[in-house]
Amino acid sequence: MNFCVLFAKQIATELDIDPKLDENWDEEIGCKLSCSLYLQSYLLKQCKSPVVLVLNEVDRFFEYPEIAPEFFGLLRSWYEEARQDANLQKLRLVVVYSTEVYVSLDINRSPFNIGLPIPLPEFTDHQVKYLAQRHGLDWTSNNEVNQLMSLVGGHPALIRIALYYLCCQGMTLEELIQDAIANGGIYRYHLWRHWAILQENPSLVKAYVQVVAAKQSISLNPIDAHKLESLGLIAYESDRILPRCELYRAYFKKQLGVAEFEYKSLQKRA
């Protein structure tokens, strides 16, 4: 049984509708089209009110390259076809994902650049102070909060990692800041993952070299800028494009300096 059939059957089960796949599934027209017709003409046709379909952690599909492009293309097609199809207009699709996955997908077949994006906002200094207190840290002044946020900004994941090491691993804030960009530091897996993605995309390496080295406003190819923003590696300050936080600037400046020869080789192949 292929993935589309399992997916469609699961939706039917959640809607408490008898799947009746033998009667409503046509393998001869292909998996994607059959799945779309099954959803439109059988499942949604029986629903009088809108249906909310929530897909959580869909970036995990990228671990299965034989499935991911077709599945994401299917979701994209539902969005586009809903403009003319009354049944598909009943579908409310909520897709939860990590922004880092965007780079490896064709933007014309992606469901991640349509609809209403709701990004996870950065933590404020008040929220960081509150979280630190919840972790049992005696941060009565804003000094510690300012030191941590000067390194990682309000990045939720990086703040959470820092608080874990400060609270549970006996690390001091000074040690954490000194250790942050080390290849064996507390952020190593987070940083390595971004570095690996950049290394697979020569145009992004070239673009990010400009970002981390820039001392004034720069212009980037809009596609590269969008991909870097989707990776969470840059932020906008008026017309300026900046590394999202000082941790990224320091780490990638070091990495790109160490990898200068390799970068030049990549540039020749690009």
Q: How far apart are CA 270 and CA 268, in angstroms?
A: 6
**pLDDT given at position 64:** 86
pLDDT tens digits, residue range 62-79?
888 888 888 999 999 999
Alpha helices in the chain (DSSP H): 3-14, 21-24, 31-38, 68-81, 125-134, 143-152, 156-168, 173-179, 188-199, 202-213, 222-231, 246-258, 260-269
135 has a pLDDT exceeding 80? yes
pLDDT in tens, 175-226: 999 999 888 899 999 999 899 888 888 889 999 999 998 888 788 888 888 8
Kindly state the percentage of the chain with pLDDT values over 70: 92
- The predicted model gives 129-146 an average pLDDT of 92
Predicted pLDDT of residue 103: 60
pLDDT above 90 (res 248): yes
Q: What pLDDT is attached to residue 170?
A: 87
- The residue with tokens 């046709």 is 45
How many residues are listed for the chain in this entry? 270
Residue 4 CA, chain-centre distance (Å), reads 24
DSSP single-letter state for residue 29:
G
- Quick one: 255 exposed, middle or buried, by C-beta within 10 A (0-12, 13-18, 19+)? buried
Instruction: Grade residue 227 by pLDDT with cuts at 50, 70 and 90.
Output: confident
pLDDT average, residue stretch 248-254: 92
Q: Taking the CA atoms of the chain, what radius of gyration do you get in angstroms?
A: 23
Amino acid 242: pLDDT: 92
Weakest mean pLDDT among 56-65, 101-110, 116-125? 101-110
**67: exposed, middle or buried (Cβ count in 10 Å: 0-12, 13-18, 19+):** middle
Instruction: Quick: pLDDT tens for 42-55.
Output: 999 999 999 999 99
The reported pLDDT for the residue numbered 100 is 63
pLDDT digits (tens, 9 = 90+) for 166-188: 999 989 999 999 999 888 899 99
Residue pLDDT, tens place only, 25-37: 988 888 889 999 9
What pairs with residue 93 in β-bridges?
Answer: 53
| Most confident listed range (2-6, 27-31, 134-138, 265-269) | 134-138
Name the pTM for this structure: 0.73
Region 117-138: mean pLDDT is: 92
pLDDT per residue over 76-105, tens digit each? 999 999 999 999 999 999 999 876 655 666
Nearest residue to 127 via CA among 105, 101, 155, 99: 155
| Residue 91, strand partner residues | 51
Instruction: Kindly tell me if the per-residue pLDDT of 261 is higher than 50.
Output: no
Distance between CA atoms of 247 and 56, rounded to whole angstroms?
A: 29
pLDDT at 101 (0 to 100): 58
